[in-house]
């Protein structure tokens, strides 16, 4: 069940956010989904800083859906930040981006991405993709224990 | 140049050591003399012995280079100074003090000169002669002193015998320069005779004879009537006699059997023979004459030196003639002259200047070409200084180093350097030379050539400058290309990421509209949504193809062998949907063979060619495609033939251009990039592509790649 989960969606495109939320609704994703629109905000959220200080309202995500091309800090920088911090480094990060450049794919894995998905264009494929994410990352995969020692 | 004795260096050292120790013992003997009735004469004698020791040590050092003799020379010089002080101390009258002072000043001159020579590493004839002259002057001085102090009780006959022997030895000393030490040794023996008395004299006379016998040069001593009274074995061997005694004849005997001529072939009459001239009191130095024996057909070139021998009163009593066989040397010189003549001609033809430097005398000869090359004043004679002055100062050290090294190693050198020509300015020369060994094996001459290479250097410089500017331009172009490449990458990244984002929105929302609001849209609304989706799809294809096309330019190409069949299967796999939809029949004639290509690029090319073949067919017709390969020269041609609509001749070349489309999108969908991708890919792979077509019948596209 995905009810123990919390998703952080890092995405600057309002269109994509809307389409993703629609696809999640259709796929019956029931866990909370928090959305931040740039790299700085993503880090702020993960640190529990500023507007995200309340960990009850903004719990640590069990899954981060991360776009690469973001305003301010890029997805790569967010990934690096995550992997460099003891509390955050085990967080599951699925890159979800429009780029299918092999350079970007390689970079993402080098920096510790758990998965790399390309946003589909063909109608209906977005639903399929979100369904896959839910089935695998939320329902099948066993995430690391949240407060395990580093 | 040395006049050697033919005594090997090792023997020379042994000999010098023996004689020097002998000298020491003599000095000791003199000092031990209980009869001190003539103290000044004894002191003078000690001086003479010390002097001989010093001269011998200096000489031996030059001949052998053994540093021990330098040390010995210093010790002997100290001895002489000590005896000199003693001699001065014993002077009782003003006259004697003046004598002592004169001797002291001559000694200083001698010692100073000898010391200055010890610092140099070679001894020229001039230096050698001056050294001998100075020493003889000193000896004569001691003689005077001895005579002044002469003990009247000395036996006159003994005095005369000693005088004769010393005279002969003195002559040998003068004539043989470098071989002084043997004469010294005998002189010492004589000195001992004087000191010790007559009994020892006859024994040591025998020793003198033995020494003369041992000499490598021929020695003849004539009395004043022209009878040879002393002849050594070397002299006999020199002109073909079995032993020396056979030659103890008079001048007339030799006149009957020998003919002498100068080197130009002019006969030298008997009254001009060396012996005749020396009997008349002349001295001769290395007079080279051709000597022919009449009784046996032999001839030699002999270098004669001769010296009259005088008694104490200055009257000539004997004639000393020393002969040396220089036949081989003359022959060598002849050959050298011949080769020099050829060399001169060759030099003249080649414009090569040459010069010849006699290292011992310092004399330089240079050719006319040399003078022209350097722009030397014809009036001024050749000199090292004027040559050096012509060389650009910065270049002199390296040239000098090379020359000095060639001299030291008796080797060759080759250096490029610049000179300042008075009219032509700075010129670049190539200098090369060889040091020629003298008799001792050390370099005696330096023969060198110079050649103007200014034009060559200029051309070289021009080539270098061009290469440099070319390199600069290549670097610049490479940088420009790298920049363009980088921009291209940034561009395609932007396209792939940013152009697609809004497209996703269009596609996504059109899809959502149909899905979520289908009922309220109505048929027309749904058709519009359909069209939005279709337009979006086309744009997606366009972007994808454009990216493929631009990636081809940047992609690193790694060639490896790949079976065409494998690549074809992969391409068909990717086209599965389209092939299924159109019910295309694709037949492959196996085997296709193996080519050298990057697999991904090859698959992409095949995919485009197959898609093309499947697409352009008449309405309602099933595409039929035939694939086969044929061997070309080192290449493999893969043909993809369809039975489609074909291409008109005038459009054949255009179809490989980017965005070139021959048909409307409604009739035949496509981006117009597929064949451009094929063409660009083949260019990158070093292959070729082409098409043959008949409108209405079909087309045959082909690619050619290197076969394995």
**Is A116 within the bounds of a domain?**
yes
Q: Which residues of B touch A74 (CB under 8 A)?
A: none
Cis amide bond preceding B307, omega within 30:
no
Predicted TM-score of the model (pTM):
0.40
ipTM over 0.90: no
Does residue A147 sit within a domain? no
User: Contact B501/A16, CB-based, under 8 Å?
Assistant: yes
pLDDT in 10s for each residue of chain A, 150 residues: 556 789 999 998 888 899 899 999 998 888 999 999 999 899 999 988 888 988 888 988 999 999 988 888 889 999 999 999 888 888 999 999 988 888 889 999 999 999 999 988 777 788 899 999 999 998 898 888 765 444
Give the per-residue pLDDT at B170: 58
Q: What is the DSSP string of B107-135?
A: HHHHHHHHHHHHHSS---HHHHHHHHHHH
User: B562 CB contacts (<8 Å, ≥6 apart)?
Assistant: B594, B595, B596, B597, B599, B602
In a domain, A44, yes or no: yes
B-chain CB neighbours of A76 within 8 Å are none
Q: A28 touching B, CB under 8 A? A: no
Chain B residue with the nearest C-alpha to that of A127 = B508
Question: Looking at residue A136, which CATH number applies to its domain?
Answer: 3.40.50.2300
- At A78 the pLDDT is 93
Reported residue count of chain B is 708
Nearest Cα of chain B lies from the Cα of A132 at a distance, in angstroms, of 18
Residue A22 lies in a domain: yes
Q: Which residue of B has its CA nearest to A11?
A: B501
Q: Say whether B497 and A99 touch across the interface (CB within 8 A).
A: yes
- Domain range for A100: 7-140
Contact A98 B497 (CB under 8 A): yes
Q: Which of B489, B493, B501, B530 to mutate to test the interface with A (most CBs of A within 10 A)?
A: B501
Task: Count structural domains, chain A.
Answer: 1
pLDDT at B482: 81
List the structure tokens of B658: 């980017």
Distances (CA, A) of A95 to A59, A92, B97: 20, 10, 118
* pLDDT of the residue at B10: 45
- Residue A120: list chain B partners with CB under 8 A: 504
Identify which of B493, B502, B507 has the shortest CB distance to residue A123.
Answer: B507
Question: So what's the pLDDT on residue B203?
Answer: 47
Cross-chain Cβ contact B504/A123 below 8 Å: no
- Whether residues B496 and A98 touch (CB distance < 8 A) is answered with yes
β-strands B698-706, B635-642 pairing: antiparallel
Residue by residue, DSSP assigns B531-573 as HHHHHHHHHHHHHHHHHHHHHHHHS----EEEEHHHHHHHHHH
B539/B550 Cα distance (integer angstroms) = 16
Closest partner CB to B508 (pick from A19, A69, A99): A19
Q: What does the block give as tokens for A19? A: 């389409």
Picking from B493, B502, B512, the nearest residue to A22 by CB comes out as B512
Is there a contact between A98 and B493 if contact means CB atoms under 8 Å apart? no
Nearest chain B residue to A119 by CA distance is B504
Does A82 contact chain B (CB < 8 Å)?
Answer: no
Chain B positions in Cβ-Cβ contact with residue A15 (cut-off 8 Å): 501-502, 504-505, 508-509
Length of chain A: 150
Search chain B and give the residue with CA nearest A15: B505
Query: Mean pLDDT per segment of 10 residues, for chain B of length 708 residues?
Result: 36 54 56 51 70 74 70 80 80 77 80 75 64 70 58 44 56 49 47 42 53 74 86 85 85 89 89 90 86 86 84 77 82 74 70 82 83 82 84 92 90 91 89 85 85 88 89 86 76 72 86 88 88 84 78 75 90 86 87 86 88 85 89 87 86 77 68 82 86 88 87
8 Å CB contact between B49 and B89: no
- A102, part of any domain: yes
Domain membership of residue A118 (yes or no) is yes
Interface mutation vs chain B, best among A123, A126, A127, most B CBs within 10 Å: A123
* Chain B residues touching A126 at Cβ < 8 A: 508
Sequence-distant contacts of B357-366: CB under 8 A, at least 24 apart:
B357/B384, B357/B445, B357/B446, B357/B447, B357/B448, B358/B444, B358/B445, B359/B122, B359/B407, B359/B435, B359/B443, B359/B444, B359/B445, B359/B446, B360/B1, B360/B122, B360/B124, B360/B125, B360/B438, B360/B444, B361/B124, B361/B125, B361/B126, B362/B124
CA distance to partner chain A, nearest, from residue B555 (Å): 11
Quick check: B636 and B604 in contact, CB under 8 A?
no
Interface with A, mutate which of B504, B536, B551 (most A CBs under 10 A): B504
**Dist. CA B121–CA B102, nearest whole Å:** 30
- List beta partners, residue B325: B302
Mean pLDDT, chain B, rounded, equals: 77
Whether A112 and chain B come into contact, CB under 8 Å, resolves to: no
Taking the C-alpha atoms of residue B468 and residue B465, their distance in angstroms, rounded to an integer, is: 5
Between positions 32 and 61 of A, the ones with CB within 8 A of B are: none
DSSP states along B683-704? HHHT-EEEEEEETTTEEEEEEE
Q: CA of A86, closest CA in chain B: separation in Å?
A: 32
- Contact assignment for A100 to B496 by CB distance below 8 Å: yes
Q: Which residues of A touch B507 (CB under 8 A)?
A: 121-123
Instruction: Say whether B505 and A126 touch across the interface (CB within 8 A).
Output: no
- Report yes or no on A15 lying in a domain: yes
Chain B hits for A16, Cβ within 8 Å:
501, 504-505
Contact A119 B504 (CB under 8 A): yes
Structure tokens at B652: 């054949």
Identify which of A22, A98, A99 has the shortest CB distance to residue B504.
Answer: A98
Distance from CA of A66 to the nearest CA of B (A): 15
Q: Is A149 on the interface with B (CB under 8 A)?
A: no
Is A17 inside any structural domain? yes
Interface probe, candidates A121, A124, A125, chain B, greatest B C-beta count within 10 A:
A121
Alpha-carbon gap: A104 to the closest alpha carbon of chain B (Å): 10
* Residue in chain A nearest B498 by alpha carbon: A98
Nearest CA-CA distance, residue B476 and chain A, Å? 27
Contact status of A92 with chain B (Cβ, < 8 Å): no
pLDDT in tens, B506-535: 888 888 888 889 889 888 888 888 888 888
Determine contact: A101 vs chain B, CB below 8 A. Answer: yes
Task: Say whether residue A124 is in contact with chain B using an 8 A CB cutoff.
Answer: yes
- Cα nearest neighbour of B514 on chain A: A123
State the Cα–Cα distance between residues B185 and B608, nearest whole angstrom: 110
- B503–A101 C-beta distance less than 8 A: no
Q: Under a CB-based contact definition with an 8 Å cutoff, are residues A44 and A99 in contact?
A: no
């Amino acid at each position: 069940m995905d009810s123990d989960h919390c998703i952080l969606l890092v995405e600057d495109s309002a269109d994509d956010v809307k389409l993703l939320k629609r696809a999640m609704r259709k796929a019956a994703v029931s866990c909370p989904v928090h959305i931040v629109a740039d790299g700085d905000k993503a880090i702020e959220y993960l640190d529990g800083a500023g507007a995200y200080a309340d960990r009850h309202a903004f719990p640590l995500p069990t899954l981060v859906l991360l776009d690469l091309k973001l305003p301010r800090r890029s997805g790569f920088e967010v990934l690096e930040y995550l992997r460099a911090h003891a509390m955050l480094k085990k967080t599951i990060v699925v890159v979800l981006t429009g780029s299918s450049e092999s350079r970007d794919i390689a970079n993402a894995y080098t920096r510790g991405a758990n998965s790399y998905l390309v946003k589909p264009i063909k109608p209906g494929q977005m639903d399929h993709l979100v369904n896959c994410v839910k089935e695998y990352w939320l329902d099948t995969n066993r995430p690391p224990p949240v407060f395990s020692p580093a | 140049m040395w006049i050697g004795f033919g005594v090997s260096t090792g023997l020379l050292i042994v000999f010098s050591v023996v004689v020097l120790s002998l000298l020491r013992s003599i000095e000791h003997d003199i000092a031990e003399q209980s009869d001190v009735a003539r103290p000044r004469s004894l002191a003078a004698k000690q001086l003479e012995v010390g002097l001989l020791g010093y001269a011998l040590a200096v000489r031996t050092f030059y001949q052998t280079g053994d540093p021990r003799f330098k040390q010995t020379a210093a010790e002997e010089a100290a001895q002489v100074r000590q005896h000199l002080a003693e001699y001065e101390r014993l002077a009782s009258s003003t006259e004697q003090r003046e004598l002592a002072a004169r001797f002291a000043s001559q000694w200083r001159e001698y010692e100073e000169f000898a010391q200055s020579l010890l610092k140099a590493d070679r001894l020229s004839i001039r230096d050698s002669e001056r050294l001998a002259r100075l020493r003889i002057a000193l000896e004569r001085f001691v003689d005077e002193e001895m005579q002044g102090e002469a003990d009247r009780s000395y036996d006159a006959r003994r005095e005369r015998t000693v005088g004769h022997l010393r005279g002969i030895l003195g002559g040998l000393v003068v004539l043989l320069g470098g071989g002084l030490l043997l004469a010294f040794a005998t002189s010492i023996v004589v000195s001992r005779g004087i000191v010790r008395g007559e009994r020892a004299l006859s024994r040591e006379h025998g020793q003198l004879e033995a020494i003369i016998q041992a000499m490598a040069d021929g020695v003849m001593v004539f009395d004043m009537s022209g009878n040879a009274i002393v002849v050594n074995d070397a002299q006999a061997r020199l002109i073909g006699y079995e032993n020396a005694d056979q030659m103890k004849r008079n001048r007339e005997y030799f006149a009957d059997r020998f003919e002498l001529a100068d080197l130009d072939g002019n006969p030298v009459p008997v009254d001009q023979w060396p012996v005749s001239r020396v009997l008349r009191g002349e001295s001769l130095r290395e007079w080279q004459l051709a000597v022919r024996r009449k009784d046996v057909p032999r001839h030699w070139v002999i270098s004669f030196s001769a010296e009259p021998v005088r008694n104490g009163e200055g009257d000539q009593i004997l004639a000393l003639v020393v002969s040396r066989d220089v036949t081989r040397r003359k022959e060598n010189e002849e050959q050298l002259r011949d080769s020099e003549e050829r060399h001169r001609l060759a030099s003249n033809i080649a414009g090569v200047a040459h010069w010849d430097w006699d290292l011992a005398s310092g004399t330089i000869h240079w050719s006319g070409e040399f003078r022209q090359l350097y722009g030397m004043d014809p009036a001024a004679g050749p000199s090292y200084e004027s040559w050096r002055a012509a060389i650009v100062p910065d270049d002199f050290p390296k040239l000098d180093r090379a020359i000095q090294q060639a001299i030291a190693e008796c080797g060759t050198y080759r250096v490029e350097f610049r000179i300042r020509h008075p009219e032509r300015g700075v010129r670049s020369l190539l200098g090369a030379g060889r040091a020629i060994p003298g008799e001792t094996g050390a370099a005696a001459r330096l023969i060198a050539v110079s050649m103007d290479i200014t034009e060559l250097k200029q051309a070289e410089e021009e080539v270098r400058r061009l290469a440099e500017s070319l390199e600069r331009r290549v670097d610049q172009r490479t940088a420009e290309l790298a920049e363009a490449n980088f921009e291209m990458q940034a561009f395609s990244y932007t396209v792939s990421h940013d152009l697609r984002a809004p497209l996703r929105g269009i596609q996504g929302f059109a899809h959502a509209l149909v899905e979520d609001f289908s009922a309220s849209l109505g048929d027309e609304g749904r058709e519009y949504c359909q069209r939005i989706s279709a337009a979006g799809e086309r744009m997606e294809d366009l972007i994808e193809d454009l990216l493929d096309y631009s990636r081809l330019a940047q992609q690193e190409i790694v060639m490896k062998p790949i079976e065409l069949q494998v690549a074809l299967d992969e391409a068909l796999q990717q086209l599965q949907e389209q092939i299924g939809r159109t019910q295309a029949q694709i037949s492959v004639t196996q085997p296709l063979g193996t080519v050298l290509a990057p697999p991904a690029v090859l698959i992409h090319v095949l995919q485009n060619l197959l898609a093309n073949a499947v697409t352009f067919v008449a309405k309602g017709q099933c595409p039929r495609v035939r694939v086969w390969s044929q061997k070309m020269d080192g290449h493999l041609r893969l043909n993809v033939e369809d039975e489609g609509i074909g291409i008109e001749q005038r459009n054949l070349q255009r179809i490989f251009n980017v965005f070139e489309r021959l048909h409307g999108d409604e009739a035949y969908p496509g981006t117009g990039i597929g064949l451009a991708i094929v063409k660009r890919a083949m260019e990158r792979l070093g292959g070729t592509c082409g098409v043959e077509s008949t409108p209405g019948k079909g087309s045959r596209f082909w690619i050619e790649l290197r076969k394995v």
